[in-house]
Amino acid sequence: MSEIPGDLKFLKSHEWARVEDDGLVRVGISDHAQGQLGDLVYVELPEVGSAVKAGTGAAVVESVKAASDIYAPVSGEVVEVNELLNDKPEIINEDAFGDGWIFLVRPSDRAELDELLDANDYEALVENEDH
């Protein structure tokens, strides 16, 4: 498994959030999650301009094996989606923490970020799951 970048925050359901320099929050799924799902074949992206709510479904990723809801780590407005995933969902398998990001949110309540797990806590969670 690839190293978990220290600047990411996580939901227990394996979504990551990265606060960009401009204050927007980029969202994806962890490398652990993509490994569990297997080869991704389809991503249902949210609409730009739509509102997402922390802890509720905002996107769907489908692997050969299963469909999985992607929860928004923070509430806010979707300002950009990763259109490349429409044709190449496998980017998430190849680079879950980087090029495989899913959507970008303008957060409405930055305090929600404090509710998320940090990289160390998330790593511990994943290790526990594996045993």
Partner 1 sequence: MTDKTVLNATHRSLGARMVDFGGWDMPINYGSQIEEHHAVRRDAGMFDVSHMTVIDLHGARSREFLRHLLANSIDKLKVHGKALYSCMLNEQGGVIDDLIVYYLGEEFFRLVVNAGTRAKDLAWIESQAKAFDVQVKERPEFAMIAVQGPNARTKVLGLLHEVDRPRIEKLGKFAAAAAQGPHGMPLFVARTGYTGEDGFEIIVPGEHAVVLWEALVAAGVTPAGLGARDTLRLEAGMNLYGQDMDESVLPWEANLGWTIALDEGRAFIGRIALEQQKAAGVPRVMVGLVLDDKGVLRHGQKVLTANGEGEILSGSFAPTLNKAVAFARIPAGEPGEVRVDIRGREVPVRLVKYPFVRDGKPCEGI
Amino acid at 8: L
Interatomic CA distance for residues 130 and 122, integer angstroms = 13
Interatomic CA distance for residues 39 and 41, integer angstroms = 6
Considering only 19, 51, 60, 125, the residue that binds partner 1 (CB under 8 A) is 60
The region of 10-18, 35-43, 70-78, 114-122 touching partner 1 under the rule CB under 8 A is 35-43
Q: Which residue has the tokens 């509710």?
A: 115
Q: Which of residues 1-30 bind partner 1 (CB under 8 A)?
A: none
Interatomic CA distance for residues 18 and 10, integer angstroms = 9
Q: How far is the CB of 102 from partner 1 (least distance, A)?
A: 15
Burial class (CB in 10 A: 0-12, 13-18, 19+), 93: middle
* For partner 1, the closer CB: 41 or 124: 41
Q: Is position 41 an interface residue for partner 1 (rule: CB under 8 A)?
A: yes
120 sits in which H/E element: helix 119-130
Q: How far is the CB of 19 from partner 1 (least distance, A)?
A: 30
Q: Which residue has the tokens 């652990």?
A: 32
Binding characters for partner 1, 84-113, by CB under 8 A (x = yes): --x------x--------------------
Considering only 39, 80, 127, 129, the residue that binds partner 1 (CB under 8 A) is 39
Which parts of this chain interact with partner 1 (CB under 8 A)? 35, 38-39, 41-42, 44, 60, 62, 64-67, 86, 93
